[in-house]
Chains A and B, each alone.
Chain A
Amino acid sequence: MSDIGKVRLRIPSSIKAGDVVRVRSLIIHPMERIERDAQGKIIDKKYNYITKVTVTYLGKAVVSFDTTQSVSENPFFSFAFRATDPGPLKVLFTDTTGGRYEGTADIKFS
């Protein structure tokens, strides 16, 4: 449980200016699915799952995902962006309990 919100970003080891870079982001999160009782009725409670993933690069939103409970537990999201300048790449996850989890990677050119 305590691992909830751990974010990992995987970027290629060498990036050249102007490259289109593919990034994989992974978060530890339960992504609770809808539960039903014996009669098949939906149990009405507040489910904890991620609803929004936002990727910003150099302070600008590049990609965002709106997600539902049909997304797996401990989900990964991959995306691409064009690396124009060195700077931070941030991925922010927001869940239904108001939790905000952020992962940052520094984009450097080699």
Chain B
Amino acid sequence: MSDMDRRKFLKIAGLGALLGISSWSMFEVVTKQHLEAFVEKYKTPPNAMHAKRWAIVIDLKKLDEKIMNDCIEACNRIHNVPQIPNPKEEVKWIWKEDFEHAFPGMEHQYMPEEIKEMPVLVLCNHCDSPACVRVCPTKATFKRKDGIVMMDMHRCIGCRFCMAACPFGARSFNWRDPRPFIKEENKEYPTRMRGVVEKCTLCCERLEVGLPPACVEVSNGAIMYGDLADPNSEIRKLLATRYSIRRKAELGTNPCVYYLL
């Protein structure tokens, strides 16, 4: 120890403290893990709806202004979606877009103007191979086993990588506190805070208690939902009998919102 000097001492002391603290916390983590007996503590609600691959089918023939407004209003009301007047910061989960812009590349110059300007409802497509899930660094947006692309608002760090990745522009960010912009709070559902990304969740909290998604409920049959993996489901029968398109299908994300023409 005769060559011990101040520098060496400080280095050893620092390393020792670091190792000591980290081993203590590791000890805590490891021993706490298996202390609780394994008991079935968490269950899905008994009347939950189950599916292997949820999907939405929108019948463009049945859509009209009133139904679209009802759907948007129902979604916004139930989920406390803020109404921000500045388009720069707006938050939208489901909204109207004209055909030309919702399906870019499908129009041509000889198409009738009414079709080009026909409003359609656009929302998150709950893709099968979602780009947003692929890029999220914290798994704050994740794909559930039943196919819904869900948001965990607790974990989102607001990096907005998912917004860059989504080819459909379906995601919104809370650029400021949304609460002043919520018309009427639904006390049974939380709001979001500034700094997190949000989008349509296919009303999974309603599906889990046996209710249909809000937009489906008020759409008077224009929007249908069901299980794509079930060959006997209503939507599978519809998709087998009528011509349907999807938005930007060539990009490989495999969107699961179908539009019947």
A and B: interacting chains: no
Interface residues, chain A, with chain B CB atoms under 8 Å away: none
Interface residues, chain B, with chain A CB atoms under 8 Å away: none
